[in-house]
Amino acid sequence: MAAAYRCLLGAALGAALWLAGCAGAPPPPPPEPVAPLTPVGRSPREVALERALGEFSGVPYRSGGTTPDGVDCSGLIQGLYQRTGVRLPRTVADQYQAGTPVGREELRFGDVVFFNRYCQVRGRGPYLASILPSVDEDEVCHNGIYLGGGRFMHASPRGVFISRLDVEVWRVSYRGARRYLPGGN
């Protein structure tokens, strides 16, 4: 009888622990918004840009593309800004020459961040930045749009997605930023 009681008690205890475990962890936090702007103080162009970001989020990569059917990095920037009424050149290098230079510590929503060829080197590592010829260090070849909070949206062969500027490859290959929207917040 004592063995049966212990067996029943063990089963009840096991069931209680199993049920407690099934209660699960708290729900995951909600996803971050694409562009964390406060409603107050948004210019019409910033509102249009925020709307355009939604159109291009998750779009597939297409070399030379500038529409939500497919884009490359500079095509994404050109397509986004086209929807705000701002005309930009087509290539990364020409986009880098346009606009107003912005310091990294002054980045705000809508600024375009630029990177050198290091971000395209396969098998990246800290040592590769020193291997690149100096011309590659200065040449911009990739860009994305700054969203705020250290995040930017860009197009790569994986499609259009959000990355963080503090990740090593972006931190090391960062060349500068340009502002194309007038005014300041």
The residues assigned a catalytic role are 73, 142, 154
Give CB contacts under 8 A, 24+ apart, made by 51-56.
Answer: 51/83, 52/79, 52/80, 52/83, 52/84, 53/80, 53/145, 53/147, 53/153, 55/83, 56/80, 56/153, 56/160
DSSP state of 122: S
Which residues are paired to 161 by β-bridges? Answer: 154
* Burial class of residue 148 in the structure, from the number of CB atoms within 10 Å of its CB (0-12 exposed, 13-18 middle, 19+ buried): middle
